[in-house]
Amino acid sequence: MRINTPKSRLYVGGLSHTISEKDLRDRFGKFGEVSDVEIITRKDENGSPLKTFGYININTSDSEYKRCMTVLNKSKWKGGTLQIELAKESFLHRYYFVITVKYSY
């Protein structure tokens, strides 16, 4: 019997510029079912990477989420220090939601 677990979207900062989707799926898959991984690399005007971070959608229980935070947050991995938190709702999503609700009468 499968227990229905809540879905969380995590922000993961401090990633190496060479990180792959598979790396993140393998690392976070120990704490739940990873359904989506998005990796973003900010670059300077010359195209050199400045900052790499990601978003992970994971189906996990509260206890596994807490374990994930305890084990991985602020840990050293592949040359970086992971910074993990629940992802914040994006500005564009909030703006779209407000407009949609306002005119949905």
CATH number at residue 92: 3.30.70.330
pLDDT in tens, 64-105: 999 999 999 999 999 999 999 999 876 545 545 554 444 444
Please give the span between the terminal C-alpha atoms of the chain, in angstroms, as a whole number.
42
pLDDT in tens, 19-60: 999 999 999 999 999 999 999 999 999 989 899 999 999 999
CA atoms within 13 A on the CB side of 84: 23
Residue 1 has what pLDDT? 39
Domain-located, residue 26: yes
Question: Could you tell me the residue range of the domain that residue 13 belongs to?
Answer: 7-102
Residue 40 has what pLDDT? 95
Residue 7 has what pLDDT? 76
Domain-located, residue 1: no
CB 66 within 8 A of CB 90: no
Average pLDDT over all residues of the chain: 85
Closest CA relative to residue 68, chosen from 34, 17, 22 = 34
CA 11, chain centre distance (Å): 3
CB 32 within 8 A of CB 58: yes
Residue 39 has what pLDDT? 96
Domain-located, residue 2: no
Residue 66 has what pLDDT? 95
Residue 98 vs residues 63, 88, 89, 105: alpha-carbon distances, Å: 33, 16, 13, 13
**How many structural domains compose the chain?**
1
